[in-house]
Chain A
Amino acid sequence: NPKTAAKDEL
């Protein structure tokens, strides 16, 4: 899911 990809980062 490209929309939430960066949300797994801190």
Chain B
Amino acid sequence: MNIFRLAGDLTHLASVLVLLLKIHTIKSCAGISLKTQELYAIVFATRYLDLFTTYISLYNTLMKLIFLGSSFSIVWYIRKHKIVRRSYDKDQDTFRHYFIVLPCFVLALIIHEKFTVREVLWAFSLYLEAVAILPQLVLLQRTRNIDNLTGQYVFLLGAYRALYILNWIYRYFTEPHFVHWITWISGLVQTLLYADFFYYYFQSMKNNGKLQLPA
């Protein structure tokens, strides 16, 4: 495992911890999109089916369990926790799941490595992850005044994707025959979705100001 991959995974882990910190200690999920969190839960549930069939490493297994557990517990907190759920911006978080899930599933039926249940679901999870952030970005755009932890959360998620791209470039040059179009293209699309957010994030850092997206 190279340094970019490790840094990417740790950044992903940090993003989840920041979100759990906000939810668990501040008891607030204001500005967090339940739709995005539910999509991530679907992403991990469909991608990590190989937990039962293939063993890669202890690191791999532990991280998968952490991402599965955290994504489902975040959804639980926002939907069921008696205090947290009150802070959920339900009226603002209006993105429809099936607008995202359905096209991804159809795409996975068309473009996959092998036509088996596991491979189609794996491709589906990659396509879905690529666009799962959209409800969150729409919500940020609508709430405009973004609190620090929410801003950090989205920033860390974007950084994780950027580091994965560096990881693929590194692997391409260091490993023989490392070519993986489905992963690369969906990963690139996913990272590009953060470009606009990154722009305003760095602008706000430069001005020492609060992160505010334009109307």
Question: In the complex the two chains form, what is the Cα distance from A2 to B184 in whole Å?
Answer: 13
Task: Please measure, in the bound complex, the distance between the C-alpha atom of A3 and the C-alpha atom of B118, giving whole angstroms.
Answer: 14
Chain A, interface size category, equals: under 10
Chain A residues whose CB sits within 8 angstroms of the CB of B63 once the complex forms: 10
CB distance from A10 to the nearest CB of B (A): 5
Residues in B with CB closer than 8 Å to A8 are 56-57, 60
State the CA gap A3–B78 with chains docked (Å): 38
A10 to B129, CA, bound (A): 11
* Residue from A6, A8, A9, A10 whose CB has the most chain B CB atoms within 10 Å: A10
Q: In the complex, A8 Cα to B56 Cα: how many Å?
A: 7
**Contact (Cβ within 8 A) B9 A5:** no
Q: How would you classify the secondary structure of chain B's contact residues: helix, strand, loop or mixed?
A: helix
Quick one: closest A residue to B183, CB to CB? A6
Interface residues of B in 178-198 (CB under 8 A from A): 178-180, 182-183
Q: Is there an interface contact between A5 and B60, defined as CB atoms closer than 8 Å?
A: no
| Contact pick for B5, options A2, A5, A9, CB 8 Å | A9
Which of B180, B182, B183 has the largest count of A CB atoms less than 10 A from its CB? B180
Selected from B175, B179, B183, the residue in CB contact (under 8 A) with A9 is B183
* B164 close to A (CB within 8 Å): yes
Chain A residue numbers with a CB within 8 Å of B50 are 7
Q: Does B86 contact A (CB under 8 A)?
A: no
Q: Which positions 49-65 of chain B face chain A at CB distance < 8 Å? A: 50, 54, 56-57, 60, 63-64
Q: List 6 A-B contacts (CB under 8 A).
A: A2-B180, A5-B175, A5-B180, A8-B56, A9-B164, A10-B64
Chain A residues at the B interface, C-beta cutoff of 8 Å: 2-3, 5-10
